[in-house]
Structure 1
Amino acid sequence: MSKKRYFIQIAYDGSLYHGWQVQPNAVTVQELLDKAMSTFFRQPIETLGCGRTDAGVHATDFYAHFDIDELEESKVLHAVAGINAMLPYQIAAKKIIAVADDAHARFDATARAYKYYIHFQKDPFKLNRSWLLKDKLDVNLMNQAAQALLNFTDFSCFSKSNTQTFTNNCKITKAVFEELNDGLVFTIEADRFLRNMVRAIVGTMVLVGKKEIDIEGFIDIIDSKNRSKAGQSVPACGLYLVKVEYPYIR
C-alpha cells in the first residue's frame, strides 16, 4: 500500500524538554512524539516539524508531517486519542490532517506567531512559564521600538550565529507589547523567524524599556547586523509558539 502524508497538530509545555528536535543525549518533544506514534501505528514513524523550538520553549500550535499507510477517517480520530494516551501529560496531540503528498510542515508555512510573557512579582504558578523581571519598564517606548521592526527585513543582529539559513531576511507584520493585570505579553508575527530571534528582540527592547538605549540606538543595532550589539537572549520559559499558518489548512 502506498504511503499517505499527514500533518499532526500538537501543543506542549517545553519546561521538561530539550527543545523539539531529536538529540542524542537529551529528551525532546519530537523523540517522545515519534515513539508514541510508532507504538500506536505499529510501524516506524519519523516526523518533520514546522520549526525547531529551543529547550524550555512552549508551543500551543505546532505542526509536523509524517508518512504512513492511508488512514480511514474514523481511525484518524481514534489515532489522536490513542497517541495522547501514550504521550506524557506535557504533550498533547490535537488533530491529524490529510494533506498532499508534497506538503511540507516547515517550508509550506506562510506565517508564524510567537508570544513572550513577562511578570513583575514572584508567582509560583508562573514558574517555567513566564519571565520574572523586577525592572520598571516604559512600555510606550518598547512599543515604539516594536513598530520600528516593521520597517526592516534583515534581522542578522537578532540571529544566533553560525546557523545554516540561506537568508536572514524576515517580514514582520505585527509586533506589540500589551499590559496584563500581572505583567506584559509581547506578540510578534512574521513569515519566518531566525534561531533565537524573538528572545533576542525582547532582550533588546527591554533595554529600551529600561532607557538604557533610545529608539535611534535600537535602529542602529538593527542596521549593524551584528548580534553582539543587541541585548541578551531572554529566558526560554516566557516564549510560546502560538500560530503556524498554511494555505491549505483552515
Structure 2
Amino acid sequence: MATEAEEKVYNHYAHTDPCKDSRWTARECYEFMYGKPWKVVNDFYLDLVNGHSSLAELFGPKDDDDTVRSSDEYAPENSLPDDQSGRWARVTFKIIVSYHGEYFDGWQKQPGLNTVQGLVERSIGMFVDDRKAQQRKDKGLPVEGMSVVAGRTDKGVTALNQVCSFYTWRKDVSNEEIKHAINFEAPEKLRVVSVSQVSRAFHPNFCAKWRRYLYIFPFGEGDCREQTSEMDKGQRCWKSEISEDNPEEKTIDLPGEKDKLEGVKKPTSFTVRRVDQLLQHLQGKLLSYRMFARDTKASRNTGPPTECFLYHARAAEARIPCTNKDHATDGMKVMCIELVGNRFLRRMVRVLVATAVREAAAGSEEDVLLKLMEATCRRATAPPAPPDGLCLVDVGYSDFDPQKCFIH
C-alpha cells in the first residue's frame, strides 16, 4: 500500500494573483525559452572566448576603453610578505581563464566528464613539487595540481574571466609556462587570459566581493523544425529538473493546449522594458533567493545561506553582430540581462531570468519578484532558462563601481 508521501503528486504551483490565468505553466516556459535560435548566441560567445570579439559590440562604444576591465587589477595583497619561510614559502598563482560552456560539463571535476577544473588541474600537474608528485604516485593517482575557483559554473555556461588559483613549492615555475600548458589542452575552447603571482592569502572565492553575469536572450524566430526539436529537449530537461530538485516527489505531465481554461488566451510576447522594471526592484537589497535556487541542500533552504545582495540588475535590448543571410545586416536582436551580486545560488541566475520573462509576459505587477520570494514552493518560479545564454563575465576584488556596468 502506497504511503501518503508516495501518493502526493505535484503538477503546478497555484498562483492566486489576478495574472494567474495568463501566466505560462512550467512546460510553456521551457517551450518558449528553448525554442529560440541559441546557436547565434553560442557562436558569439565562442568569438568572445577566443578574443575575436568584445562585449562592447553589443552595447556600442563607451567612454572608457573597456567598461569591464581585467580583474587582475583587483587582486588583493599582490605584494608578498617579508617572511618567505614555512607556509609562506610556497608560491600562489592566480589564473584567469575564458572558456565556452558548450564544450565542457561545467567547472567542477567529476569522474568521466570533461570539466574545466579537470583540464586545468591536469595541465598544472607538471608544476607540482616533487614531494606531492611522489605522494600521488604512491597512491596510484595521476600527478595533478589542485585549484580553487571564484565560482563554479554549470554545464553549458560560458565564462570570460573566471578566476582560479593553485600553489606549489617549486621556485622555477614561470607565468608563461603555466599559460602555455593550459592553452595547449583545449585550443579554441579554452583560453588563459592572464597568469600572475599573488600573495598566499589570496583566495579566488573568499576574497571576491562581487560577480558579474550576463544573460543573452535571442529574439530571432529561427527554423520551425529546429525549434520543435529544442522544445522537445526542453520538456525532457524540465522533467529532469523536477526530479533533481525534489527527488522524493512524483511528477506528471503538465496540462497541454487542450487542458487550458476555455476562453483564456495566454500572451506569447513580452517587452524588454518590462523585464528591466521587474529586475530593478531587486537592486540594493539583501534578500533570500531560496525560491530562485535549485538543487541546494536542505540545510541551506532558509536563513543567511540563501541571502544574496544584488548591486545591479538591469535589462536592455541589443544586437549581436551576425553575418547570417537570414538576419539583418545590423545583427540579431537580443535582450541582455546584467546581474552583479556578492554571491549567487545554484542556478539562481537562470531561474531569475526565466521568471522575469514569464512575469513580464503575464503583465504582473512590478514588485512580483519580491512577492515570489515569500512563496512556499519553488514551482512558484519558472524552471531554469537554457544555460546557452549565461556567461560569467568577471569577478571583482574591490568595491563594486556602478559606473562600470554595461546597462545603465
TM-score (norm 1): 0.86
Matched, 1:62 2:195: no
Matched with 1:175 is: 313
Partners of 1:40 and 1:82 within 8 A in 2 = no
Out of 149-158 and 215-224, give the one that drifted further: 215-224
Structure possessing the higher relative contact order (Cα contacts under 8 Å, 6 or more residues apart): 2
Q: What amino acid maps onto 2:359 in structure 1?
A: V
Quote the offset at 1:123 in angstroms. 6.0
> Quick one: structure 1 residues 175 and 71, their matched pair in 2 at CA, closer, same or farther if it must change by over 3 Å?
farther
The answer (yes or no) to whether the contact 1:63–1:244 under 8 Å persists in 2 is: yes
Partner of 1:160: 294
| Residue aligning to 1:243 | 394
Q: Given that residues 106 and 156 in structure 2 are in contact (C-alpha distance below 8 angstroms), is that contact kept between their aligned partners in structure 1?
A: yes
Aligned length: 241
For residues 12 and 225 of structure 1, what CA distance do their matches in structure 2 show? 37
Deviations 1:18-59 (A, max 9, x none): 100001131111111111222466853111111110000000
The separation in 1 between residues aligned to 2:94 and 2:376, in whole angstroms, is 36
Give the CA deviation at 1:224: 2.4
Worse-superposed segment, 111-120 or 90-99: 90-99
Determine if the alignment matches structure 1 residue 14 to structure 2 residue 101.
yes
> Distance in 1 between the 2:222 and 2:397 partners?
36
Name stretches of at least 5 consecutive residues in structure 2 with no aligned partner: 1-84, 134-143, 232-267, 320-332, 400-408
Could you say what secondary structure the match of 2:308 adopts? coil
Q: Which of 187-196 and 85-94 deviates more?
A: 85-94
2:281 aligned residue: 148
CA RMSD, Structure 1 to Structure 2 (Å): 2.8
CA distance in 1 between partners of 2:376 and 2:179 (Å) = 44
Which residue of 1 is the match for residue 182 of structure 2?
A: 83
Question: AA paired with 1:189?
Answer: V
Cα–Cα, structure 1 residues 111 and 70, in superposed 2: closer, same or farther, change >3 Å?
Answer: farther
- Cα distance in 2, alignment partners of residues 227 and 213 from structure 1: 18
User: 2:142 aligned with 1:46, yes or no?
Assistant: no
Q: What's the TM-score, normalizing by structure 2?
A: 0.54
Q: Distance in 1 between matches of 2:95 and 2:154?
A: 20
C-alpha distance in 2, partners of 1:18/1:159?
20
CA shift in 2, pair 1:79/1:65, >3 Å: closer
Give the secondary structure class of the aligned counterpart of 1:89: coil
Structure 1 contact 21–31 (Cα < 8 Å) conserved:
yes
Deviation of 1:101 after TM superposition, in Å, equals: 1.1
CA distance in 2, matches of 1:148, 1:229: 18
Letter in 2 for 1:64: C
Deviates more, 1:239-248 or 1:177-186: 239-248
> What amino acid sits opposite 1:198 in the alignment?
V
1:33 to 112, 120, 127: 120
- Contact kept, 8 Å, 1:156 with 1:226, in 2: the verdict is no
Map 1:86-97 → 2, pairs under 5 A: 86-97=185-196
Amino acid at match of 1:77: E
For residue 218 of structure 1, what is the aligned residue in structure 2?
369
- Contact 1:36 1:87 (C-alpha < 8 Å) held by counterparts: no
Q: Partners of 1:48 and 1:12 in 2: how far apart? A: 16
Q: 1:116 Cα shift? A: 0.3
Query: Which position in structure 1 is the counterpart of 2:20?
Result: none
Aligned amino acid, residue 107 of structure 2: W
Please point out which of 349, 352, 372 is paired with 1:198: 349
Distance in structure 2 (CA, Å) of the matches to 1:18 and 1:84:
18
Change (3 A) 1:69 1:87: farther
Alpha-carbon distance, 1:215 to partner: 2.7
